A and B are shown apart, each in its own frame.
Chain A
């Protein structure tokens, strides 16, 4: 008869992944693989029962709450979209994303050519001198002093006021089919998700890998404070509240499953 797998002490080694899935269709909304500082906290409120002279004789517990906090080593766009309660939009040839662009171009023969065709209209371009804005040029039907004209991606300027070799800074927008956008809407908040963390433990004796899972059927990313340090060593922190499913008679907040 095979030996029963029954282990009590484990060494948490690392998080393999954390995923949040939609509770409506089960689709994974975000998957994180670079988890740092994971922390699972459970709190409970209590009411003290005291005797006639105020000595505590009992504590009655209620309102158990669970919360998981961690940070992803990298800025994760799917996590960010989930935190904002929105969806990541991925552009395609059929559904382009209006993207900002800015170009610094050197004037040659009174012309510069943009890398992309501007979407819609834009009114101003800027002549730079020593990297500072020196003159503002305004769009017109023809190029003249202080004015520029544009035909598709080709911009013409008047060579007397903007001689060849001048640097133009041109901010504009174009429709990109290779872009991703995430918008933070003031009236959208995170949806309820299911939470699944895959954790690798080590057997303290053999150092063998043992796979564990933390599973919560109902959870919600906490949007009350999302602080992102947008630096190369900045992390992407998140907090997720774990709830019991409303209809669940057992009132399960979360569970650990350890597999050999």
Chain B
């Protein structure tokens, strides 16, 4: 069934469908595979699975243009990762 939902990364509305759920599971959360990859990076960073430096490195390979205008938690997290002076630290964050 077709439905309109918002991307948890960029807040844009998009259409999705339950039918190909097995193949397009990312569409449950995001409007594009690029944004889903950003979700995975930020989620891994949040849970301390990757370092800030690694997250920054991975984000550099993804399209994060206009992230300042997204107005989502993802946008705030990207700002924090990119602006942080200690972003080169290799220390894995402790799990909360």
Interface residues of A (CB under 8 A from B): 98, 110, 120-123, 138-142, 144, 147, 149-151, 154, 156
Contact = CB atoms under 8 A, between A and B. Distances in A.
Given A120-B22, A120-B25, A140 B8 contact: yes
Interface of B: 5, 8-9, 21-22, 25-26, 28-29, 39, 42-43, 46-47, 49, 72-74, 77, 96
14 contacts: A120-B21, A121-B29, A123-B5, A123-B28, A123-B29, A139-B29, A140-B72, A140-B73, A141-B8, A142-B42, A142-B46, A142-B73, A144-B73, A151-B43
Nearest to A140: B73
Contact of A141 (B5, B46, B96): B46
A156 B43 CA distance: 11
A141 B25 contact: no
B73 A147 contact: yes
Contacts of B39: 141
B79 to A, nearest CB: 12
Given A139-B8, A141-B74, A149-B43, A156 B96 contact: yes
Contacts of B25: 120-121
B21 A141 contact: no
B60 to A, nearest CB: 17
A146 to B, nearest CB: 10
A38 to B, nearest CB: 43
A103 to B, nearest CB: 18
Contacts of A154: 47
Nearest to A111: B96
Contacts of A138: 8
Given A149-B43, A151-B43, A140 B28 contact: no
Contacts of B21: 120
B73 A121 contact: no
B73 A122 contact: no
Contacts of A139: 8, 29
Contact of B28 (A98, A121, A149, A156): A121
B96 to A, nearest CB: 7
A144 B42 CA distance: 14
B6 to A, nearest CB: 9
A97 to B, nearest CB: 12
